[in-house]
A and B are shown apart, each in its own frame.
Chain A
Amino acid sequence: MRVDLYAALKKYFGFSSFREGQEEVIRDVLQGKDVLGILPTGTGKSLCYQLPSKVMGGTTLVISPLISLMVDQVKQLKSSGFQSVTALNSFMDKEEKQKVMNRLHTFSLVYISPEMLQNQRLQQRLQHMNIKLFVIDEAHCISQWGHEFRTDYLKLDQTIDLLKNPPVLALSATATPEVQQDIMNKLRRPHMKKRIYPMDKQNISLAVEEHLSPEEKTERIIEVLTKNQAPTMIYFSSRQWAEKVSFELRDRLKQRVAFYHGGMEQTDRMLVQQQFMNNQLDVICCTSAFGMGLDKKDIRIVIHFHLPPQLESFIQEIGRAGRDGEDAVSLLLFTRQDHHLPQRLIQSELPEKKDLNRIFSFLQKEREVPEDEDIMERFQLSESQWNFVKFKLEEEGMIRGRWHQKVPSAIQQKIEQSLENRWVYKQNKLTEMMKWIHETDCRRTSLYKPFQEVIRKPHVPCCDACDFKLDELSFCEDYKEYKKSSWEERLSLIFSQGVLL
């Protein structure tokens, strides 16, 4: 297919140049190749299928693991004038879902969650549609060695067969060579065209500091942000801490500070995100729930108040800084006790061995497999804990829908073994993270080494083990203080009164 890609880019997205990797991936896709694209966070992975979907006609399917991410993407596309897009997920209300289903073939871009994709009616519907491209976003989820293994990703190869093998585009921001190979194996597509781009950010300086207590961390943040005024994100692993520190910062800094986490009321969440985008806020204290799909280009500082459970998450989160290519900084703060938090996170993701045994003997007595919610409630399991067990049982042919059979002890042992492997794997990931924060050699090199062969030379001071001194940093941007205005003033501002159309 001969297309003027640049004209299409300008026409549909208003850009005049591609970012690294986009053009190569898009050309491969348009030639009908299966492509594995590893493009770092913030380089516009989604354009790699959004542009082809415009050019190729028909429908492009995008499998995306996180509903919030999916919904954000759709909103973002719609807000920029890309109308023919929709997202199907299990949280939609009935009427809305029906409406979308009825005119599914009219959309050029359809986002679907992997569990929704297993819906038979939907599959039948898709079989009669003109599917031009099958996109797997966050493709590392298909690999057990990826940091966010999702069992429902493993059925994707069957779905692709069912849809008569459209070209496949698998995308990820963080995948080690091992994970890349695993993605191709699991998709049964050994000859995918690999397009791997380096994920080291040449415009981000790295620093890690050990402190004695959370209070000391807070003092340090206040010190840093008193000297530096620029859009800042601070990551926490708990909602309570995000709130607590935000109050402290609000009282002691000139910047406008807010917190954000998944427990907030929906309207307020939306408002905080929009305020940050709109430069009405300078500092966001958040959990990892924030920033999914957020495309703010001028974030200068990313601080980690707590350790992420693995390097991959850390790399993705610092990747939110400096998307405009200008200088940015990552600062991670830790205390000796901090590994407890990620430890607990791992516990909440995986079941324990005794849970397995209780479930096995419970199923033996039941006629059919209860609903997911009931079983989760009964055994006090989180969704991902139950998913792990369920998938393992399905994989071994022990359950299918509501039907199940007695689990022989050989298989019980096999499942216990794979649970143990998973524990070990997660622990190793955490150990890797812990090792990195105690690194005395160049941090950049050790951070990116597992992912790429060559580490590029940064445009900014490298890291605190090399030539970066956080205390010499000085970002000074204009900032405004909250102005209390009367309602009349505010209302006339909203409605641009006194401004002629």
Chain B
Amino acid sequence: MFHHLILQCIDKFRGERTTSGIYNLLTGKRSSQTMQDAKGYQVDDFFGIMPDLRRKQLDAHIHPLIQEGLIVVNDQSFPTLTSSGKDALYSYKGPKIQYFKGMVWHEVIPSFWRRVYLLIQMMANRKAGIKHYYPIVDDYQAQRWARLVYHKFQHKLPRLIQSLYEEIHTLLENHSVIEANLYVHRLTGGKVIGLTVEQLKEMYGMNDVDVQLHLEHTHYYLFLEAKKDKESYPVLHLCTKGLDVTYLITQSARKTYQYFMQGLSIDEIVTLRKLKKSTIQDHIVEAALIIPDFSIASFLSDYDVDDINNMALAMDTQKLKQIHEAFNGKYNYFELRLALASGQHRIEGRNSTT
């Protein structure tokens, strides 16, 4: 599955981004470059879905793809798909990658799965009559949450337990078998302790990155389904409570954004915050990317924005240098980035209305 994901990323990046770009995307690097790429190349669903991925692991998985002739890396280290790479991408038979929504949810997914694992252990142990045990998730916030739920619903625990079992059962029935297997064998409760990634990898004969990716995919699946359907999945829905979209914006960018909303100019913010102009500009681009109703009218007219986006569309690229040259320097880089960033929302808006 990881290979498929890598091929997808390379395909979307169209030879315009390096392996580092892929790495930054998957691990969710907080930089305006990475975020802008995620949006621009429409891979924002994969943003931050593998926070623990190590660079060495990624390289180890890219290497065989080169050897098998599925991708080629040019001398500027931009990978592209070969024609057999394209075939491999389209003929992929594994579980479809369909539930990741990284840009929106990657920050809350860990809280969600921790809650679920703990709650399952608590409920299952209660049903099995096991009173003394170690919580399987060593996280203070999650433990506090689970204790609260347990006390709050003390009077109707048996019903809650049965519902939790049925909710998971129903959701997994509509999920790929391999991912259902991996997920359930990871769970701890009653008389069984869950398996480690190492053991799952052995049992199902796959590599450890795939094990983790499949588990994460299932976490997203359960989260999204539970979030949108409270009626069908009341207990899992409970586990999503309070886990909301946080506008993915760095603390520093937030500050700049606040000053900007108070009517300060970029130069005034530069003086006030004692930061470089380019940094403040990064913040503005970040805000334009993330915050849907952020107005950039003080920098660019609607006409300019359309002008730039149309050019990018016509040239079929997100590469700033090429666009800059095409305009003969009519717009500076900051304006280009800003226009492309805000252009994203227009495209999304159009897609969702059609």
- Chain A: residues with CB nearer than 8 A to chain B? 75-76, 79-81, 92-93, 96, 250, 258-259, 264-268, 270-272, 274-275, 278, 280, 482, 484, 486-488, 490-497, 499, 501
Most chain B Cβ neighbours within 10 Å, of A76, A250, A258, A501: A501
Q: Are B188 and A495 in contact (CB under 8 A)?
A: no
- Interface residue? B28 (CB, 8 A): no
Q: Are B172 and A494 in contact (CB under 8 A)?
A: no
10 examples of A-B residue contacts, CB within 8 angstroms: A79-B132, A79-B133, A274-B136, A487-B180, A490-B185, A491-B169, A494-B189, A495-B190, A496-B128, A496-B190
- Cα separation A267 to B164 with both chains bound (whole Å): 22
Residues of A within 8 A of B136 (CB): 267, 270-271, 274
Number of interface residues of B (CB under 8 A): 43
Q: Are B132 and A267 in contact (CB under 8 A)?
A: no
Q: Are A494 and B124 in contact (CB under 8 A)?
A: yes
Residues of A within 8 A of B313 (CB): none
Residues of B within 8 A of A93 (CB): 140
CB distance from B227 to the nearest CB of A (A): 22
- Interface residue? B332 (CB, 8 A): no
Instruction: Specify which of B134, B165, B197 is in contact with A265 (CB 8 Å cutoff).
Output: B197
Q: Are A274 and B134 in contact (CB under 8 A)?
A: yes
- Cα separation A218 to B112 with both chains bound (whole Å): 43
Q: Are B172 and A487 in contact (CB under 8 A)?
A: yes
Most chain B Cβ neighbours within 10 Å, of A92, A264, A274: A274
- Interface residue? B206 (CB, 8 A): no
B184: nearest chain-A partner, CB-CB: A487
Residues of A within 8 A of B193 (CB): 271, 274-275, 278, 280
- Interface residue? B191 (CB, 8 A): yes
Considering the complex, which residues of chain B in the window 162-204 have a beta carbon less than 8 Å from any beta carbon of chain A?
164-165, 168-169, 172, 177, 180-181, 183-185, 187-199, 202-203
Considering the complex, which residues of chain B in the window 65-98 have a beta carbon less than 8 Å from any beta carbon of chain A?
none
- Cα separation A76 to B132 with both chains bound (whole Å): 9
- Cα separation A105 to B151 with both chains bound (whole Å): 24
- Interface residue? B161 (CB, 8 A): yes
- Cα separation A272 to B196 with both chains bound (whole Å): 7
- Cα separation A424 to B203 with both chains bound (whole Å): 49
Residues of B within 8 A of A494 (CB): 120, 124, 184, 187-190, 192
CB distance from B206 to the nearest CB of A (A): 14
- Interface residue? B316 (CB, 8 A): no
Q: Are B192 and A490 in contact (CB under 8 A)?
A: yes
Q: Are B198 and A268 in contact (CB under 8 A)?
A: yes
Q: Are A271 and B195 in contact (CB under 8 A)?
A: yes
Additional 5 contacts, C-beta under 8 A, given A274-B188, A491-B168, A494-B124: A487-B181, A490-B184, A494-B188, A495-B123, A495-B189
Residues of A within 8 A of B196 (CB): 258, 264, 267-268, 271-272
Q: Are B184 and A495 in contact (CB under 8 A)?
A: no
Instruction: Specify which of B123, B140, B158, B194 is in contact with A96 (CB 8 Å cutoff).
Output: B140
B131: nearest chain-A partner, CB-CB: A81
- Cα separation A183 to B135 with both chains bound (whole Å): 37
